[in-house]
Amino acid sequence: MSRERVPGQVWVMVSACFLVAVGFGMMAPVVPAFATTFGVGVTAASFVVSAFAIVRLLFAPASGKMVSRFAERPVLLWGLVINAVASGACGWAQSYWQLLAFRSIAGTGSVMFTVAGVALLLRLSPIGLRGRISGLWSTSFLLGNMTGPLIGGVFAGASLRLPFLIYGSGTLLAAVVLWSLLKKSGGSSDTANLDLPEFKVRQAIRNKAYRSSLTSSFAVGWISFGVRYSLVPLYVVGVLHQSSTATGIGLSIYAVGTASVLLISGRFADLRGRRPVVLAGLTILTVGSALLAFTSTLAMFYVASLVAGVGTGLVSPAQTATVADVIGSGVRGGPVLAFFQMMADFGAIIGPLLAGAIADFWSYQAAFLMSSVISVLALGMWIFAPETLVGGRKRPPTPTPTVTQATPGSEVCGPAADTSSS
């Protein structure tokens, strides 16, 4: 068992992630409600929410390039500043189109923070702690998202504009704190990293473990961030004939199931290997999605939510650690991390659309079974994926870049920090 300790700068990053996630969660009950005050319908109000995710997806490749060109810390800080200013500006919006524009700009800052934050986190992480630190990052994000809606609801009672202003101010404060506390991770180390060769997506995608991580990231985005928030509430109210309160309880049970195993998952991924943990998680996630398809009572819905939540919690840290292993050290892996993050965002966007269409044309049961199929496809990819943990099974060969300074996947110099979130 590794006795390495989590570096102090990692705790700074994790704390900042929690604060940002609280603010992100604050927006959940506020954004669509605020949009309707400009006299638009439900579809237009919902698009303000979707626009944030769409911009994140589209701007992710550019964020990865920025990390490779300017290093993680400057991109992270500028991402926070852009997100803070744009979010605060939403509170002063005088029209629907202003709100949509400011919220979209906030999406660019959000993905800059996410990609750069994960890259820096993994670079600061000792190799033997990647799984655990990925679990800490995911846990902080999840707990922040669980706390945020409660805080946002309280402030929204006074004014729908107030949560935007609080979120913007808090995020700006987080940027100042990070700038102050992360100085040691910048400066000369940032400059040194800029001299390293870039590990490109086309090189990483030749690696089976990386391709498998992309499929599981897509599956988690589809199920956990897409279908869970869009289709499940409609199913509980329209088919099970239960209240919105019951829906909220089910979503909370899912989150509790995820949070309860994130740290355990990361620890096992560091001790026993990434692959077995992901395989177990995808199997459980598949079972949870299938149970939801055959749910006929509220009790079964709660059980299915718990099972699927546990599956998600097992998959997330281990797949992120796998991506960090594939990148290794001695290279700049910003675009590779960004593409990995894009798959989760893509799943979160396309999942509700396709699953919703299936529910309309066939049934909710067919839509939830489709989620199981997506999870099974990812499981099939991971069955044939190699183990990437040093000291685990045989480490997979990684394609050699067209430069001679370093080889992605080399662990001689330490980790290449991995991240993912919001």
Amino acid in the structure at residue 317:
P
CA pair distance 183, 354, nearest whole angstrom = 45
Backbone CA torsion sign across 276, 279, 281, 283: negative
* Alpha-carbon distance values, 153 to 29, 47, 143, 170, 174 (Å): 7, 21, 16, 17, 22
* Alpha-carbon distance values, 248 to 232, 243, 270 (Å): 10, 9, 34
Regarding predicted confidence, which is higher, 68 or 374? 374
Regarding predicted confidence, which is higher, 358 or 97? 97
Across 194-203, 325-334, 373-382, which has the greatest mean pLDDT? 373-382
- Is the pLDDT score of 409 beyond 60? no
User: Which region among 43-57, 147-161, 296-310 has the lowest average model confidence (pLDDT)?
Assistant: 147-161
* Domain edges within the chain: 8-383
**Whole-model pTM?**
0.74
Backbone angles phi, psi at 198, to 5 degrees: -90, 130
pLDDT > 90: percent of the chain: 21
- Is the pLDDT score of 401 beyond 60? no
* Alpha-carbon distance values, 45 to 29, 36, 166, 369 (Å): 12, 6, 21, 29
The token pair at 330 is 């001695």
Regarding predicted confidence, which is higher, 272 or 32? 272
Confidence band of 314 (pLDDT split at 50, 70, 90): very high
- Is the pLDDT score of 402 beyond 70? no
- Is the pLDDT score of 112 beyond 80? yes
The token pair at 64 is 């990865």
Each residue of 266-300: pLDDT tens digit?
A: 888 888 888 999 999 999 999 999 998 888 888 89
Mean pLDDT of 99-122: 88
pLDDT at 324: 83
pLDDT > 70: percent of the chain: 83
pLDDT at 400: 40
Confidence band of 210 (pLDDT split at 50, 70, 90): very high
Q: pLDDT averaged over the chain? A: 79
The token pair at 51 is 């626009």
Regarding predicted confidence, which is higher, 261 or 198? 261
pLDDT at 187: 45
- Is the pLDDT score of 98 beyond 90? yes
Which superfamily is assigned to 8-383 in CATH?
Answer: MFS general substrate transporter like domains (1.20.1250.20)
Confidence band of 412 (pLDDT split at 50, 70, 90): very low
User: Which region among 40-44, 149-153, 304-308 has the lowest average model confidence (pLDDT)?
Assistant: 149-153
